[in-house]
Amino acid sequence: MQVQQLPEWANTNAVSINDVIQGNVLMAVLSNYMVDIDWLLSECPMLKSVHHVLVIHGEGDGTLAHMKRKKLPNWILHKPPLPISYGTHHSKAMLLVYPRGVRVIVHTANLIYVDWNNKTQGLWMQDFPWKDQNTTSKGCGFENDLVEYLSTLKWPEFNANLPTAGSFSINPSFFRKFDYSSAAVRLIASVPGYHSGPHLSKWGHMKLRTVLQECIFENQFEKSNLIYQFSSLGSLDEKWMTELAFSMSAGMKEDKKALGLGKPLIVWPSVEDVRCSLEGYAAGNAIPSPLKNVEKQFLQKYWARWKSSHAGRCRAMPHIKTFMRYNGQNIAWLLLTSSNLSKAAWGALQKNNSQLMIRSYELGVLFLPFARKHEYSFSCTDDGRLPKGELASSLSSEMKLTKLVSLVWKGEENEECGEVIRLPVPYELPPRPYSSGDTPWSWDRRYTEKDVYGQVWPRQVELYTSQAL
């Protein structure tokens, strides 16, 4: 996503909120944790003319009271149930319904000014056409994952008369009316609760494990490294880190043998990174991890530097969250998600691994190598593109796996390896482990060396207290 104060080249191919929310939107579902309704309406005034807007949020009573005063009459505010203490509604996504289809967006930014202007963030979106109403085909994995996740949010069902589309009851099943067969990602969501039996593998890191187990990866990824990159660190222990690594390491090689356990690194800003960032120490408000979590001895072997010279974002502190497996500049898979590194977000196994306890709602998109014969070129907003669901010409006479690589990959594209997809990984690969002079950022320590604005930390204001950013 675009970052102010960066040179033009660094924002090439990056998007602003107005690149995302555009066109003739008939209905919008906006899912987030923090929502600044004043900023949102000033930044996207076209939302004022959208017939129906459902805001699914995680705000507390104080901000919610302000939102209720400021919202438009056709807006519905909904906070999903949180059955387990210390959980949050943290998912960041948008569903925009158009006359031609639906735009699905999964991203990492709160709906606040600083998140869309000053920080390194990630966003995925794809447009899908309305289904042929005569079709009887079953939903694909993406559709089923999406509708099942939406069903857990328990929003109040409402009726919507959508111009050019018809009158509908807006519930999770409404989103089965679109054709997601061209989806290039899988959804990995977390939902609060105690999940067991067939539900054990539906959410959190067990969902990721289940999807990866079904995948075959190139032999080069055998025992290859993992990266955990996020903006808030929970209270962790070595047992849970091993549990998570087993899920992150799932998958098979071409000979159908397991890939094997990968070694994780944690990409995390140092104190010096925050001090010299575009926001100075103020950036640390959105990297809310206390010293007691950061200083645990077993974590020392994981720390790696935030370096983003190739993307021009060394000074734009990361609010993006990515988890991935890689070898050199080749990527086995990458997950862009709202999940930080915490048991609350990913879940923790209990009762002899028969139950997964999750506290928070999270949502991410998993990029995998996939076989495709055709290229969809559908857009909800560009009438110059192909009409509903039509296919562009065949890429090849046979199915070939796509190849995932970083932006700085220097291999040669050839017919044998299929289509090469460059994922905009914002940090350098391989990450550089911390040296002896590096100190991982924690937001409840005192820092007396002045930042780029001449400030020390904490500033003479009350610290922001949420740990769910």
CA distance 360 to 372: 34
Which two three-digit tokens encode residue 302?
Answer: 């994981």
CA distance 270 to 46: 40
**Nearest one of 289, 287, 366 to 119, comparing CA atoms:** 287
pLDDT in tens, 85-98: 999 999 999 999 99
Note if the bond before 458 is cis, omega within 30 degrees: yes
- The pLDDT, as a whole number, for residue 462 is 46
CA distance 345 to 170: 28
Residue 66 among the catalytic residues = no
CA distance 244 to 223: 15
CA distance 295 to 116: 30
Q: Does domain 8-183 have CATH number 3.30.870.10?
A: yes
Residue 90 among the catalytic residues = yes
| Those residues with Cβ within 8 angstroms of residue 120's Cβ, 6 or more apart along the chain or in another chain | 1, 3, 308, 311, 313, 316, 317, 318, 319, 320, 426
Q: Which of 90, 107, 195, 205 is catalytic?
A: 90
**Nearest one of 227, 364, 236 to 289, comparing CA atoms:** 236
Q: Which amino acid is at 133?
A: Q
Q: DSSP class of residue 263?
A: P
Mind listing the pLDDT tens digit of every residue in the chain (469 residues)? 999 999 999 999 999 999 999 999 999 999 999 999 999 999 999 999 998 999 999 999 999 999 999 999 999 999 999 999 999 999 999 999 999 999 999 999 999 999 999 999 999 999 999 998 877 677 899 999 999 999 999 999 999 999 888 999 999 999 999 999 999 899 999 999 999 999 999 999 999 999 999 999 999 999 999 999 999 999 999 999 999 999 999 999 999 999 999 999 999 999 999 999 999 999 999 999 999 999 999 999 999 999 999 999 999 999 999 999 999 999 999 999 999 999 999 999 999 999 999 999 999 999 999 876 555 679 999 854 333 333 333 334 456 788 999 999 998 776 566 789 999 999 999 999 999 999 999 999 999 999 999 999 998 654 444 444 5
Total residues belonging to the chain: 469
Radius of gyration of the chain (CA): 22
**Could you tell me if residue 172 is left (phi over 0), alpha (psi between -120 and 50 degrees) or otherwise beta?**
alpha
pLDDT in tens, 426-445: 999 999 999 999 999 999 99
Number of other residues whose CB lies within 10 A of the CB of residue 388: 12
Torsion, CA 206, CA 209, CA 214, CA 219, rounded to 10: 180
